[in-house]
Structure 1
């Protein structure tokens, strides 16, 4: 038990130490691409991605897409995507460029644009009244000012609220506040991951919080244009998490496959991909 707690403390400290926001440097001007790529044509995905570290750049290793048409939008500009993505915290890898490659390789989209704003270690309350909330609102305002309409919104969060023992009612209330903020300017489907696993939750079976899971699942069932994303509580073995919390390369590939399946499931039900 003591070894596990020390490990979790070190992992948490490491995550916070590497939670700086990724922003472009002067050298990144070579990655700038034409904003015309944001034009909606039925084959372009424009996705806002947010939540905590597993939606940010805290995966094991950086990844560069092999498709040139995977892009990273940040503060009004568009860049060729590669990890770590601009706009999210962490200095390692993320699931999103991998997903972009999969979507293009499958012929679902010809261009994929990610708008990453996830913050490592953030609890859901941060996205309703904290600094994360301000970040979300500023991003939505910028998109509105540039007349950019999202096609998808991807949420992955729950690990911190597992540790905080957030109630089902409170988690759902805060999800409703986030959805209300989104709907002021954007109508894209919100995909909510089923995510709660944290190895520090030693009093809960396998570190999974069924209260958080139930909150996420019932919110999906009770709201229109809210769909289920990946269930990452199924990816909790050592092969999936390089430090017990964050995804390994193997885990990020599995995570991306689950996102792909969630997106494809919508079209298999006779609904347009957007």
Structure 2
């Protein structure tokens, strides 16, 4: 990922420190009981979301709009003579405009060296530039799986052009992206900035979960915050974009051991991937993305966490039947 602080030696939990509003405390206390019992409302209940933040808020990863836990943002800068494309030319009926957010495997952590050969672009500061490693806007300074996906989408004939707006941050928790998180304003502001430049997302790709596997969120806790994030994205982006939620939780667990060549040192959380699956709702245009716990096993992680180039190729290929077939693909292009 890597993490910005030690998830495995938490500084403590403080469920409630504000005692002036007893009614609020009672509501939140009830939510705790429901969470423990596994009976929490499936989606979006604000009191339950508040309770999750009260429980884990002081253990959120340290990450913000300026970079990931180590302060990294993509270092790639296009050559001075690189052509700048008017972003609005990429918004036609056969153009994909994809917002990407989540954790490090959605950013620039792949083995570097890939440059898109097709009409695949990245957005930054109102400009659209041909994609090559690394994608600006996301954390990390290596390579990205999304440029590979863009090439596949164009060469397949599914789209004439693909534009990625990638704001993924290494080490981020679902809590960072939620209403009380350090990345909430980045998510909201990016969608608003896109609209200001005439860009409305046709697709939204979310890939995250390893940090919350490490934090120990339950299925109910993760699901209720994820749903609140998706509700906010839908509110800002409008009803048309297809939203895709990957399943992801696998990471090298230093609490077990640090040998990346030992499969026993890895941890995954079925509770997290179950929550990611549970939010899928085709009626709301929310679909399942690839399950990278399954398609990118431990031996295909270049440092115990991040995809090798071969794994990134496999991840990109796994998106193709999802985007080219099934319920989502039967919707007309935006």
Q: Which TM class, normalised by the smaller chain length? A: 0.7 to 0.9
Counterparts in 2 of 1:66-77, with a 5 A limit? 66-67=117-118, 69-77=119-127
Contact 2:68 2:172 in 1 (8 A): no
Counterparts in 2 of 1:253-268, with a 5 A limit? 253-266=313-326
TM-score normalised by L of structure 1: 0.86
Aligned match of 1:189 in 225, 242, 246?
242
Count of residue pairs brought into register by the alignment: 260
Contact 1:51 1:119 in 2 (8 A): yes
Deviations 1:225-253 (A, max 9, x none): 10001110113435421112100011000
Q: In 2, distance between residues paired with 1:85 and 1:77?
A: 13
Q: 1:56 to 1:19 in 2, by over 3 A?
A: farther
Deviations 1:34-93 (A, max 9, x none): 2155443221000001101000001122310111x1100112111111111100000001
Q: In 1, distance between residues paired with 2:75 and 2:159?
A: 27
Contact 1:61 1:92 in 2 (8 A): yes
Counterparts in 2 of 1:34-49, with a 5 A limit? 34-49=85-100
The aligned counterpart of 2:61 is none
The aligned counterpart of 1:232 is 292
TM-score normalised by L of structure 2: 0.71
User: Which of the pair is proportionally richer in helix?
Assistant: 1
Identify unmatched segments of 5+ residues in structure 2: 1-66, 258-263
The aligned counterpart of 2:48 is none
Q: In 1, distance between residues paired with 2:226 and 2:303?
A: 28
Q: In 1, distance between residues paired with 2:225 and 2:272?
A: 12
Identify unmatched segments of 5+ residues in structure 1: 1-14
How far 1:132 sits from its partner (Å)? Answer: 1.5
Aligned match of 1:162 in 180, 188, 213?
213
* Coordinate RMSD, CA, aligned: 2.7
Deviations 1:148-195 (A, max 9, x none): 211100000000100011111221121122112212231311100011
Q: 1:226 to 1:17 in 2, by over 3 A?
A: closer
The 10-residue stretch of structure 1 (48-57 or 122-131) with the greater mean CA deviation from structure 2: 122-131
Contact 1:239 1:250 in 2 (8 A): no
How far 1:147 sits from its partner (Å)? Answer: 2.8
